[in-house]
Amino acid sequence: MELAIYQVDAFASEAFEGNPAAVCPLNNWLSDETLQKIAEENNLSETAFFVKNEDSFSLRWFTPEAEVDLCGHATLAAAHVLFTHLRYSGQTIQFDTKSGPLLAQRSGAVYSMDFPASIPVSTEAPDALIDGLGITPREVLCAYDYIAVLGSETDLKSVNPNFIKLSQLDKRGVVITAPGMSNDIDFVSRCFYPKLRVNEDPVTGSAHCQLAPYWSQQFKKDVLLAKQLSKRTGLIHCELHSNRVSLKGGAVNYLHGSIKI
Give the max Cα distance, the chain: 53
Question: What domains appear along the chain, each with residue ranges and CATH number?
Answer: 2-116+247-260 (3.10.310.10), 121-241 (3.10.310.10)
33: annotated active-site residue: no
What pLDDT was estimated at residue 164?
A: 97
Q: Is the pLDDT of residue 19 over 90?
A: yes
- 22-31 per-position pLDDT tens digit: 999 999 999 9
- 183-217 per-position pLDDT tens digit: 899 999 999 999 999 999 999 999 999 999 999 99
Instruction: Label residues 229-260 b or e (16+ Cβ within 10 Å = b).
Output: bbebbbbbbbbbeeeebbbbbbbbebeeeeee
What pLDDT was estimated at residue 183?
A: 84
The residue from 17, 46, 153, 200 that is catalytic is: 46
Q: Is the pLDDT of residue 158 over 90?
A: yes
219-226 contacts, C-beta under 8 A, 24 or more apart: 219/186, 224/186, 224/187, 225/180, 225/184, 225/185, 225/186, 226/180, 226/185, 226/186, 226/187, 226/188, 226/189
This prediction has a pTM of: 0.93
